[in-house]
Amino acid sequence: MRRLGEVPTARQSTADPDHRGFVLNTTTPILHVDMDAFYASVATRERPDLRDVPVIVGGAYRGVVLSANYLARQYGVRSAMTATRARRLCPHAVVIAPDYDTFGTVSTAVMETFRRVTPLVEALSLDEAFLDVRGSMRRLGSPLQIAEHLRATIHDEQGITCSVGVAASVSVAKLASKRAKPDGVVVVPPDEVTSFLHPLDVGELYGVGEKTQAMLHRLGLVRVGDVAHTPLRTLQRAVGDALGRQLHDLSWGTDRREIVARTATAFGLGGGDPDKSMGAQETFGRDTDDRAVILRELLRLTAKVTGRMRTAGVAGRTVAITVRFADFTTITRSRTLPEATDVTQEVYRAATALYDGLGLQRARIRLVGVRVEGLLPRARVHRQLVLGEREHGWAEADRAVDRATRRFGSAAVRPASLID
């Protein structure tokens, strides 16, 4: 295993700091590229005053943490942690509201950088992807050189850093990128796979969750090496044939899952796949049973979602809402419209009908969310003409609002009911 990065001592610690020994190496064609604290890095890249302070993205009152920079992580702050716990761990952290439009724009640009290197890009989320670069080596050099090229390009163009794992398989590349953080590269040649993998806890294997980890620990299989040296049939009798085979292959780094080119689905970015969706949700500052307050929030969320849809050039037919009660019970309801739409008022009418259809009486609500599913490219949507319909309606009004907000900011134009 070799770790290389921008820090001079990391380069000096390698046997081959100039990469010459890797130029002809084609045995490690899989890259896992992972942005470093992506949301926090994007949120603070133009805020030099926040460079040396703990930063939390999201995690407003009663919400959850979306991301935290490495300084905040030193205090134990993690994504998906409640805001209350994050503030208790790091009371002096600066909290920034997430800007999903900017996150999506940066993610799209990063993924395009990947695709300039290879068409075999499997996006796992907005901030990480697997790349198969075996077809790019003649043009761009070794996998390590490609990794360094990607890191430099992303830093220069986007102002953020990433870490890259380079290996012969998807699972080992994923683990290698974790070891490369932050802002580095780790190469795991085939002859070093076992020495890299076997000392690790079984919970670090790609795809092994907490329940599987706990089960393996109860069986006395604590390290990856313990799993590797357990006879396959014994392992399969203990955990099942399919899982036993998967764990056996992972423990030796011999999994050969092929990379399937696909775009990120989070926040509905990256194409016209009909399975994509876009959504937004918000936790109220105080539990409420006021219908007017709840519908006003549904309108605000709907406007945000449909605005993103129009920016992405997509429309959808299925509208869904999420309602979380004060006791954390959560329900969802959905409705499929006759035609795909990106019109704010049409989605809002469906969301309102879904909420009223719940028949809630004085039930205190903690969170609401809106999502539009079944997205497809707007160019493929042919709206049925309606006799007597006005020539200009809500769709044209939405696009006028979009033009105004692009020029003057998101607060320039908004529904009257959302003006404080």
Q: Write out the binding residues for Mg(2+).
A: 34, 127
Whole-number Å distance between alpha carbons of 323 and 368: 5
Q: Extract the tokens encoding 37.
A: 């604290």
Environment class of 5 (CB within 10 Å of its CB; exposed 0-12, middle 13-18, buried 19+): buried
* Cα–Cα distance measured from residue 202 to residue 198, given in angstroms and rounded to the nearest whole number: 9
Measured CA to CA, the distance from residue 63 to residue 56 in angstroms comes to 12
**Is 210 designated active site?**
no
DSSP code string of 123-162? EEETTEEEEE-TTTHHHH-SHHHHHHHHHHHHHHHHS--E
Spatial CA neighbour of 199 closest among 232, 172, 226, 178: 226
**Alpha-carbon distance 28 to 167, whole Å?**
4
- Contact (CB, 8 A) for 122 and 259: yes
Which one from 128, 148, 297, 373 is the annotated catalytic residue?
128
SS3 content of the chain, % helix, strand, coil (to 5): 45, 20, 35
Residue the block writes with tokens 């004085």: 362
> Cα(230)–Cα(216) distance, rounded to whole angstroms?
12
Active site residues: 128
